[in-house]
Structure 1
Amino acid sequence: MKIIIVGAGKVGELLCNDLSNEGNDITLIETDSKILDKVLSYNDIMGIVGNGTDCEILKEAYIENTDIFIAVTQSDEINIISSIMAKKLGAKYTIARVRNPLYFSQMKFMSESLGIDRLLNPEAEAAFFISKNLEFPNALNVETFAKNKVTMVEFLVQKESYIDGIKLKDFKHNHFSNILVCIVQRGQEVFIPTGNFILKSGDKIYITGNPNDIQEFSKSLGNNDEKIKSVMIIGGGKITHYLIKILLEKKINVKVIEANSEKAKILSETFEDATIIHGDGTDNELLEEENFRNYDALISLTGIDEENIILSLYANKVGIKKTITKINGISLFNVLELVGLQSIITPKKIVADHIIKIVRSLISSQEENIETLYRIAENKVEAIEFKVPKTSMIINVPLKKLDIKENLLILYIIRNNKVIFPKGDDVILPEDKIIIITTEKYLNDVNKILK
């Protein structure tokens, strides 16, 4: 695929790395030559210094031969205008990142009327991710598939827990027959385990099942899974704007501390049912004054990773049940292994995964054959929801007779909006959706699950 990316910020840089590693022909357009040179030094891609709204720059990048055009600058307006121009000049598929809440409310109209194929909002996606994580207070991570009908949740195996040292087939036979332990991360190793796999303390396990069974499993580990009723958010940026709306709809008590007076004022005027405080969220006296330790959850969403980490560590220390930490710097993750933070949100990774899902669908010439894609366990495992076409080689064959690749597991079949936990005699039908997990990289077609 020939892909043009406009904007070498955090998202643009991540996309250049990921998409070039998947074998695509990438051209990056960036106005700042120093930033461009930095990205080029780490990636085997082409680069052009210039503005994505400049017709001549787009022509220099051979826009007429471009399969996918992606605009992810800091300016919504530049992303929108450059995507419109790219489409007019011959780009087959255009994607624009749009972050402004005003534009977000009109995304469908803008997409249809302006001819942009996809408008993405990483902050809105991040807010949704956070809201799902709040549903499982003791989980490390929560991912959803099939329009929230299927949930995958990450837990830590604690020392002396009843699952420390248990064989998975015994866990399934003696404890939870409807829960599947589908991924185990042990240090730097990742396993798609069989029934003979034995769990150890320190393992991170990803389980799937219906939400009620997952709640019961969490309780069996000794967790108090009372619902989150109150949330304190430090930082009043765009994610917070979208998140407040979601939390208020769930009848959750929300308090926000924001250092910028103008942002605090706008939030206060927009959300009358939330408490908005103008102040420094890292000020211990202010936190105590606002009864910080009495909240069920703390969500750290400032623009500074280090501040977010410190706030979450402090919240853990004073006994707040759930912490969610926004971190933009991927390099900090190795440090986080040492301090054991709970849930971590990285907006640029969310939008990158979303774009990669679209790219892979287009590569396979079946637009949107990939419904959902998550790269988890430090990107060592991919969880993918495929729509199965009528021409697929896997239909009408009992699963036990399919020659499926090693380290690949079919978790669920979704048929007519019903979730089926498959057994060996089950078959996949045309228009079904299947959810798989695999350690193989770059799967873009459902037929490629076969050897």
Structure 2
Amino acid sequence: MKIIIAGAGEVGFHLAKLLSYESQEINLIDTDKESLAYADTHLDIKVIRGDATSIAILREAKVDICDLLIAVTASETTNITICVLAKQLGAKRTIARISNTEFINYKDEVGFTRFGIDELISPEALAASEIELSLRQTSFSDTYEFEEGALTMAGLTLSKEASFVGKNVKEAAKIFPEIHFIPIAIQRKGTQYTLIPRGDTIFKEGDNVVFITSEGGAEELCRLTGKANTEIKSVMILGGTEIGFKAARDLSEKGFNIKLLEGDKERAFDIADQLPNVLVIKSDGRKVDVLDEESISDMDAFIAVGDNSETNIMSCLVAKSKGVKKSVALVENMDYFELSHSIGIDTLINKKLLAANSIFRYIRKGEVVAMTKLSNMNAELLEFEVKSTSAICNKLIKNVDFPRSAIIGGVIRENVGYIALGSFKIQEGDKVVVCSLLRSIKGVEKLFL
């Protein structure tokens, strides 16, 4: 694919990096000389210095034969303008990064596609949604919902209390007569190797396992693994950033008791005016004595979404040491994901990864409805919609020539999620959730064309 990325900031660079690994043809546009120089020396892409709202610059990037243009500069107004221009100049599909979530809420009513914008994404809104989901599924370190929870991805580390440690997948499945969950990926303790489990795969203590669950499956998993899905009521948020604001707003609307700490006086007053149901405190929450003063030990969850990743991590560790049940930290360094479980933080969130997941489904072939990369694993989780022409349509799963390093986790039919085994027949209109190692994605895509 020929892809233009406007904006070489953290999101744009990360996207360019991931897409270049897949041998996509990338043109990266930005006005900042240093950002482009760094990208040019570290990635196999073409860089163009200039303003992406310039028609001449877009033509230099060959926008007329572009398959996808992604505008992810710091300015949403600029991103919208770039997408409108690019569409008129011949770009097949455009995606704009925005910060005003009203645009997303009313995108059908406003009709952004008429202006030339095919999709809107907000990394901040995605992060806020991820935070809310992690508070609802407290026993899991990694979660993702398909079709508003018809199927849910749940990741956890197996302790010795897990009843199926030492058993293989077939033996574990017999513990419950009705199957509401299935393992789709395993990372062995102390390794970076991702394993797609089969019937004879044995669960081991310390395994980081990703499951797909249908209705009731999350509760079964908690019982089997000796974990408790603790109810969260009181939440402390460190940082009045855009993500902190959105998380506080959304969670307070859902009935959570929210206390937000913000060091900047003007920003604290601004948030307090906009969120009357949130207790906003002008305070430097990075200090241990301040957290104690604000009764951190009485909180059910602590969310650190300040501008500094290291501060967010350290604050979460302090919160955990004070007995807080759930900790969530916003981090910018992707390498920190590998440390999350070992250092004791429950959930790490990265805006770049969330934005990439949202955009990557447009890169994949077939009718990809949703996609997420598994944290710390060399695998992707994709949701395909089955067409009448798809090779998998009207076939039993056991009769499909499916790649060995991929697995069907579940099927959503008429908004109901099913854990689909070999005798399940795939039909037109089904939404099939597949976990695949990167090397097998092309083989999986062919089944859904």
- TM, length-normalised to structure 1: 0.93
CA gap of 1:113–1:267, structure 2 versus 1, over 3 A, is: farther
From 191, 205, 210, give the equivalent of 1:206: 210
Aligned equivalents of 1:27, 1:344: Cα separation in 2: 30
Q: Deviations over 1:229-276 (max 9, x none)?
A: 111000111112222232123211111001122221221111111111
Report if aligned partners of 1:395, 1:428 keep a CA contact under 8 Å in 2: yes
Match of 1:317 in 2: 321
Of 224-233 and 302-311, more deviation after overlay is shown by 224-233
Q: Which sections of structure 1, spanning at least 5 residues, go unmatched?
A: none
Aligned equivalents of 2:396, 2:307: Cα separation in 1: 51
Aligned equivalents of 2:362, 2:204: Cα separation in 1: 37
Match of 1:343 in 2: 347
- Counterpart code for 1:136: Q
Q: Report the CA distance between 1:66 and its aligned residue.
A: 1.4
From 248, 255, 263, give the equivalent of 2:252: 248
Report if aligned partners of 2:187, 2:377 keep a CA contact under 8 Å in 1: no
Aligned equivalents of 1:283, 1:176: Cα separation in 2: 51
From 288, 299, 305, give the equivalent of 2:303: 299
Task: Map residues 28-427 of structure 1 onto 2, 5 A cutoff.
Answer: 28-101=28-101, 103-104=103-104, 106-108=106-108, 109=110, 111-159=112-160, 161-175=162-176, 177-178=178-179, 179-186=181-188, 187-336=191-340, 338-360=342-364, 364=365, 369-427=367-425
Report if aligned partners of 1:323, 1:343 keep a CA contact under 8 Å in 2: yes
Report if aligned partners of 1:258, 1:281 keep a CA contact under 8 Å in 2: yes
Aligned equivalents of 1:32, 1:119: Cα separation in 2: 24
Q: Report the CA distance between 1:377 and its aligned residue.
A: 4.0
Identity of aligned residues (%): 31
Q: Deviations over 1:421-443 (max 9, x none)?
A: 22323211112111111113473
TM-align CA RMSD: 2.0
Aligned equivalents of 2:211, 2:142: Cα separation in 1: 11
Q: Deviations over 1:368-404 (max 9, x none)?
A: x101111114241111110011111111222222111
CA gap of 1:56–1:442, structure 2 versus 1, over 3 A, is: farther
Q: Which sections of structure 2, spanning at least 5 residues, go unmatched?
A: none
- Counterpart code for 2:348: I
Q: Report the CA distance between 1:147 and its aligned residue.
A: 2.8
Report if aligned partners of 2:390, 2:447 keep a CA contact under 8 Å in 1: no
Q: Report the CA distance between 1:104 and its aligned residue.
A: 5.0
Aligned equivalents of 1:16, 1:267: Cα separation in 2: 34
Q: Deviations over 1:312-340 (max 9, x none)?
A: 11111111100011001113334445423
- Counterpart code for 1:404: F
Aligned equivalents of 2:163, 2:111: Cα separation in 1: 53
Q: Deviations over 1:154-211 (max 9, x none)?
A: 1111245433323222221125752212211112111111222222221111122235
Q: Deviations over 1:63-101 (max 9, x none)?
A: 222121111111112111111111122212111100135
**Structure 1: which 4+ aligned runs deviate by more than 6 Å?**
none
CA gap of 1:325–1:418, structure 2 versus 1, over 3 A, is: same
Of 302-311 and 60-69, more deviation after overlay is shown by 60-69
Aligned equivalents of 1:210, 1:117: Cα separation in 2: 31
Aligned equivalents of 2:70, 2:169: Cα separation in 1: 43
3-state SS, counterpart of residue 216 of structure 2: helix
3-state SS, counterpart of residue 358 of structure 1: coil
Report if aligned partners of 2:268, 2:280 keep a CA contact under 8 Å in 1: yes
Of 13-22 and 170-179, more deviation after overlay is shown by 170-179
CA gap of 1:229–1:319, structure 2 versus 1, over 3 A, is: same
Aligned equivalents of 2:389, 2:107: Cα separation in 1: 33
Report if aligned partners of 1:407, 1:439 keep a CA contact under 8 Å in 2: yes
Aligned equivalents of 1:236, 1:176: Cα separation in 2: 48
CA gap of 1:189–1:177, structure 2 versus 1, over 3 A, is: farther
Aligned equivalents of 1:25, 1:182: Cα separation in 2: 31
Q: Between Structure 1 and Structure 2, how many residues are aligned?
A: 444
CA gap of 1:106–1:421, structure 2 versus 1, over 3 A, is: closer
Q: Report the CA distance between 1:218 and its aligned residue.
A: 1.4
- TM, length-normalised to structure 2: 0.93
CA gap of 1:414–1:160, structure 2 versus 1, over 3 A, is: closer
Report if aligned partners of 1:5, 1:27 keep a CA contact under 8 Å in 2: yes
CA gap of 1:147–1:441, structure 2 versus 1, over 3 A, is: farther
From 425, 430, 433, give the equivalent of 1:432: 430
Report if aligned partners of 2:337, 2:376 keep a CA contact under 8 Å in 1: no
CA gap of 1:420–1:174, structure 2 versus 1, over 3 A, is: closer
3-state SS, counterpart of residue 143 of structure 1: strand
Q: Deviations over 1:279-323 (max 9, x none)?
A: 111122221111111100000100100000101111111111000
Of 52-61 and 335-344, more deviation after overlay is shown by 335-344
Q: Report the CA distance between 1:212 and its aligned residue.
A: 2.9
3-state SS, counterpart of residue 95 of structure 2: strand
CA gap of 1:106–1:329, structure 2 versus 1, over 3 A, is: same
Q: Report the CA distance between 1:445 and its aligned residue.
A: 8.0
Aligned equivalents of 1:104, 1:394: Cα separation in 2: 33
